[in-house]
């Protein structure tokens, strides 16, 4: 089955620690995205990558970092510089990051709690 996997589903960390969230897709999609969702709010874009070895900041990139060394993988690191890291994180992918109206497919999400 093709799809997007995110692991783990729940993640707990102490304040001051960096943490990396995994995102893998086997859809052969070029573009991948990371979103953050807070309770009662829509999704906000953290980072996106249109192609391997290239990525750009989204609307709320501060305190986060990413890499795109393989087409299938787009891990997100939440650093200690992120002021309010507790949130639900969603990874998505699409055939292309350019025009064409291509929909994005989402993974099941990782709920990160930092105390």
Looking at the DSSP assignment, which residues form a beta bridge with residue 94? 31
Task: Identify residues 70-99 at the interface with another protein (CB under 8 A).
Answer: 90, 92, 94, 96-99
- Compare residues 80 and 86 and give the one whose CB is closer to another protein: 86
Pick one of 42, 83, 84, 115: the residue that binds another protein (CB under 8 A): 42
Stretch that binds another protein, among 11-19, 50-58, 66-74, 78-86 (CB under 8 A): 50-58
Within a 10 A sphere around the Cβ of 87, how many other Cβ atoms?
A: 22
Pick one of 50, 65, 80, 86: the residue that binds another protein (CB under 8 A): 50
Tokens of 74: 């787009």
Closest distance to another protein from the beta carbon of 108 (Å): 5
- Compare residues 17 and 96 and give the one whose CB is closer to another protein: 96
Pick one of 107, 112, 113, 114: the residue that binds another protein (CB under 8 A): 107
Query: What would the DSSP string read from start to end of 33-59?
Result: EEEEE-TT--EEEEEEEEETTEEEE-T
Radius of gyration of the chain, Cα coordinates, nearest whole angstrom: 13
- Cα four-point dihedral sign 26, 27, 31, 34: negative
DSSP secondary-structure letter at 70?
A: B
Rounded Cα distance between 82 and 94, Å, is 27
Residues that bind another protein (CB under 8 A): 4, 6, 31, 33, 40-43, 45, 48, 50, 56, 58, 90, 92, 94, 96-99, 101-109, 111
């Amino acid at each position: 089955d093709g799809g997007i996997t995110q692991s783990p589903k729940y993640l707990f960390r102490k304040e001051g620690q960096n943490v990396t969230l995994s995102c893998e897709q086997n859809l052969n999609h070029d573009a991948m995205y990371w979103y953050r969702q807070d309770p009662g709010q829509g999704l906000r874009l953290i980072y996106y990558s249109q192609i391997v070895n290239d990525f750009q900041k989204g609307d709320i990139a501060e305190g986060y970092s990413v890499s795109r060394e393989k087409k299938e993988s787009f891990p997100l690191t939440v650093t200690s510089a992120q002021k309010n890291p507790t949130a639900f994180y969603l990874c998505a992918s699409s055939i292309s990051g350019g025009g064409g109206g291509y929909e994005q497919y989402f993974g099941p999400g990782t709920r990160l709690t930092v105390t």
